Chains A and B, each alone.
Chain A
């Protein structure tokens, strides 16, 4: 398929999906309100505001009179959160990759570290976040960096696990081939195992790309950071019954940020990974 046509199809598909989501939201609202159904929850203007109301909220001043319109404020906040998330992603992905490599090369490390790597993810992030903030704060590290560390905490796990799995699932004969031509263990790692593991690593990076945005947003609350999307969410949460559309509008922007991170990884994968066509999708 020619490139222009492919782009057109993608745009059309995306538009159709957005239309279906909006239509579905409004249809659900209409059916539940007119039938008076209360299961699983009561549908009214507070629980499910009109899509129109949410979009309008984006172009109004959230508090009467002062500051920019909401979308400008949210975009600034998104930029701030994006910085935290991007630094956290880079940090977490590097640590995750390094852990995966170490664990693949030394069985003893795999046996020793893997349980703790898994256990680290069973600790609620809300419990860890204040500790990170207080600890790093005492070292006079900028508050936003504490948030990055929290984002990294959610990022490294999928990368570590998938890197390990990818590095251990190298074609056995390809390894034999490398050994037959006297490739050292490190040559085998860099010239064979890592390139062969790239599809695994990239699927982890895609999971992490969205997780690090969530991590940054969650991390902002205990760090008392007001400039990011997390700050806005905490704030609008408190006034939810008065103006639910503001929280929904913030959600839309947060989603967009997560999708943007995801798309960056998809594009990077297209540029980096060369595979037979049937493997590309």
Chain B
């Protein structure tokens, strides 16, 4: 059974009469790492939000773990990470990570054990009592990832999580995310505008084109896992980067023709 099954999905925003997404069909299998990439305005963040039932589709269906998306959300099937860490300043790092567990009604002892595990997973042991503003941007993002994974959701939604970070931090967090993904066995949908990041991380890259937002192409990334930093120097890596880039340009050309 697919983790995510999208059929004939269209999203139209009433305000401004914008067609953000048109006739999207996409299936994501368990354990996949799927990146959505495209120029701004192609609807990749909108698609992520529709999958997460944060905004309703205009028509078409989104099925998550065999259930309609609203049901999946109520069942805590999602973890989510935004471009900004969106940590609560008034909570310590540990309490930020524990937030989803409080929603599930876990008792204090169970929460504490899980929080310790999660902080170890993102290599922030010993930072539990810090407040978010005492951490660097990269560390804050790791806290956000720990929080998203705290209740072991089957689907992790990430909206340009490393977009605001410098290149060095970004590449290091890419490595960490791969390690965490392999350890947590969850499925990831990852929105990015970096071709290099998409190719390095993903099992598949979904290339989108704008106006109206649609899937222009899907590129399978057949680089072997576990991927180390050297994967970025593999000739196959460069071939795939080129393919994604060409798909992106083709999508933009379609756009030009359509206009």
Chain A residues engaging chain B, CB cutoff 8 angstroms: 171, 173-174, 176-177, 179-183, 187, 191-192, 195-196, 198, 273-277, 279
Contact = CB atoms under 8 A, between A and B. Distances in A.
Interface in B117-132: 131-132
Interface residues of B, number: 25
Interface in B75-113: 75-76, 78-80, 82, 84, 86, 88-90, 99-100, 102-103
A276 B88 contact: no
Interface string B64-82: 0000000001111011101
A146 B82 CA distance: 52
19 contacts: A173-B82, A176-B49, A176-B54, A177-B80, A177-B82, A179-B54, A180-B157, A181-B79, A181-B99, A181-B151, A182-B73, A182-B76, A195-B88, A196-B88, A196-B90, A274-B131, A276-B132, A276-B133, A279-B89
A51 B82 CA distance: 61
Contact of B103 (A182, A275, A276, A277): A182
B52 interface: yes
Contact of A180 (B52, B75, B133): B52
B54 A180 contact: yes
B100 A276 contact: no
A183 B74 CA distance: 9
A182 B157 CA distance: 14
A274 B89 contact: yes
B80 to A, nearest CB: 4
Contacts of A181: 76, 78-80, 99-100, 103, 151
A176 B133 CA distance: 21
B90 A273 contact: yes
9 nearest CB pairs, A to B: A276-B133, A180-B80, A181-B100, A274-B90, A195-B90, A173-B86, A173-B82, A180-B78, A182-B74
B7 to A, nearest CB: 22
Contacts of A274: 89-90, 131
Given A180-B52, A279-B89, 4 more contacts: A176-B49, A179-B54, A180-B54, A181-B80
B20 to A, nearest CB: 16
Contacts of B52: 180
Contacts of A179: 54, 73
Contacts of A176: 49, 54, 80, 82
Q: Most A CB atoms within 10 A — which of B75, B90, B157?
A: B90
B90 A180 contact: no
Contact of A192 (B79, B82, B88, B100): B88
A2 B103 CA distance: 40
Contacts of A187: 103
A275 B78 CA distance: 29
A131 B52 CA distance: 56
Contact of B131 (A177, A191, A198, A276): A276
Contacts of A277: 133
Contacts of B73: 179-180, 182
Contacts of B133: 276-277
A275 B89 contact: yes
A191 B89 contact: no
A273 B82 CA distance: 25
Nearest to A177: B86
A183 B99 CA distance: 10
Nearest to A195: B90
A277 B80 CA distance: 27
Q: Most B CB atoms within 10 A — which of A177, A183, A192, A277?
A: A177
